Copies of this chain bind each other. A is one copy, B any other.
Amino acid sequence: MRAQSKDKVPSTGNRQPATGNLHFSTGTPHSFNPTSEIITIGDEILIGQTIDTNSAWIGEKLSLMGIPVLRIISISDHPDEIRSALRDSMSRSRVVLVTGGLGPTNDDRTKATLAEFFNSRLVVDPDVIGDIEKLWGRRNIPISKVNRDQALVPHNCTVIRNPNGTAPGMWFESAGTIVIAMPGVPFEMKGIMDGGVLPKLAAFFNAPPVLHKTIMTTGIGESAMAAIIEKWESALPENFSLAYLPSPGMVKLRITGRGEDTGIVREKLETLTDQLSTLIPEWVYGYEDQSIEEVVAELLTQRGLTVCTAESCTGGLIASRITQLPGSSAYYKGSIVAYSNEVKQTQLEVSASQLQRFGAVSSEVVGEMASHARRLLKTDYSVAVSGIAGPDGGTPEKPVGTVWIAVSGPGGTVSERFFMGEHRGRNILKASQSALNMLRLRVLKDATDREKIF
C-alpha cells in the first residue's frame, strides 16, 4: 500500500506523560494548532459485540477540517475509567469528543461523571425539554420520566441540540480545552456533529479553510495509478496534497488544499481536480464519495432509461446494490439470478448448445444472458455476469476468479473477460463493481455517440 505521506497525523512531540492533575499542551488558547482525541464509552465495544464505526466517521470529519486525531480510545462506562481517560486526553489534546453512555436506557453514569468532573450540577434545559415534548407529541406517547431526565444537563455546559433523538450534545470548556459529549447512536451523533459541533469548532478556532475534492476511480490499482499520475503529483503546488484511499475494487483520490483565501483555494482545487481527471478519464466514475450504483442511477434517471440484470456468480448482489437506493424502481425492473444452468436455459433462454460448447463462463453464454434478459424484461440496457467465484469450480483454462461480463443495449451486446482473484467474497464484490462500471461506460458512450450523430 502507498503511504499517505502527506496526510500524516502530527505527533505532539516530547510532551510530558499524563499525570493525575489537569495540565495542557503548549499553545495559547484559540491559536490554530489543535489536535483532537475521541473517547468512545461502552462495554459492547470492549467485548467485541459492536464495531466502533463512530470514531472513523468523526476522525474523517476532524481530519478534513484540519484538526487531526491523535488518539482514539475505547473504555467502559465505569466512572474511574471515564475520569482517567478524560484526564489523559485533555493533557495531550485541545479537543476531546466523547460518544456513548448517554442514551435513555443507559445507567447514565457518563452524564453524572461529566457533571462531577466539571464541578457542575444537573439542571433542566428548557430547549431540550421542548424538543422532547415535540418528538413525543409526534408519536402520541406519554413522556416517561426516563426520557424527561434526558433534559437534565450540567449547568456549565453549552447544550447542542440533537435533531434525531432526546439526549443532547454537551460542550464543555476548561482552560482552553474543549470536551464534547454526545450519544453513541450513530444517526444521533452525526446529526449533533453536522448541525452543531463542527461549525462551532470551526468558529472557535477561527480555522483557516481546508478544502477537499475527492475523485472516485475503479478498474485500476493503486500502484498503476500512481505511476500514471506521478509527474502531476510531484508538481502539486505548495499547500496542496494528494491522498490515495483504496478499498476492494476502487481507489479514492483526495486532493486537499489550504490557504487563507477560500475563493482562491476552491478555484485552484477545481483546476487540479479537472487536470487529474483528464489524466485518468477511463477510470474516474464519480466524485465526493458517490458509489458506482449512485452514478448509474443518476445517468439512467436523467436520460429516462431502464435496466435489468442477469446474474450467475454475483448471485443477486448487483440487483441488491441497485435496489438499496431509494427510488431505484424508476429505472430498475429486475433480475434473473440464473445460478443453475437449467435456469439459464428455462428463464434466460440460453441455448443448450452454447452452454455445452463454450461452458457457462464464456463470452457466448454471458452475451446471450444479457441480450435475452434485455428482451424478456423489456429494458433499454441489461448487464449479465457469469464467473467462477470459488473456492471450487476452477480449471486450468478457467481458474477461480475468471469472470465474463456482458452489457446489452440499443447498439448491441459487448462482453469482456476479467480476472478477479482467489477469494470468493471479494470476487463477487469486484465482479459486481466491474459490471456496474461497464454499464456506466456503455450508457455514457451511447449518449456521446448520439450527440455526435445529431
Contacts and interface: CB of A to CB of B under 8 A. Distances in A.
Interface of A: 1-4, 7-9, 11-14, 16-20, 43-53, 55-61, 63, 68-76, 78, 80-81, 84-85, 87-88, 103, 105-107, 245, 308-309, 311, 313-320, 322-324, 326-329, 332-340, 342-343, 346-347, 376-378, 390-392, 424-425, 428
A326 B55 contact: no
The winner among A56, A60, A106 for most chain B CB atoms within 10 A is: A56
Contact of A84 (B17, B19, B314, B338): B17
A47 B4 contact: yes
B326 A315 contact: no
How often does this chain occur in the complex, in copies?
2
A370 to B, nearest CB: 16
A43 B50 CA distance: 22
A333 to B, nearest CB: 4
A8 B107 CA distance: 13
Contacts of A343: 308, 333-334, 377
Contacts of A424: 324, 326
A390 to B, nearest CB: 7
A311 to B, nearest CB: 8
29 contacts: A3-B107, A4-B47, A4-B49, A8-B43, A9-B46, A17-B18, A19-B19, A45-B59, A47-B69, A48-B56, A48-B58, A48-B59, A49-B56, A71-B75, A71-B81, A88-B88, A311-B316, A315-B319, A319-B320, A323-B339, A323-B428, A324-B425, A326-B392, A326-B424, A329-B339, A333-B342, A335-B337, A336-B336, A346-B378
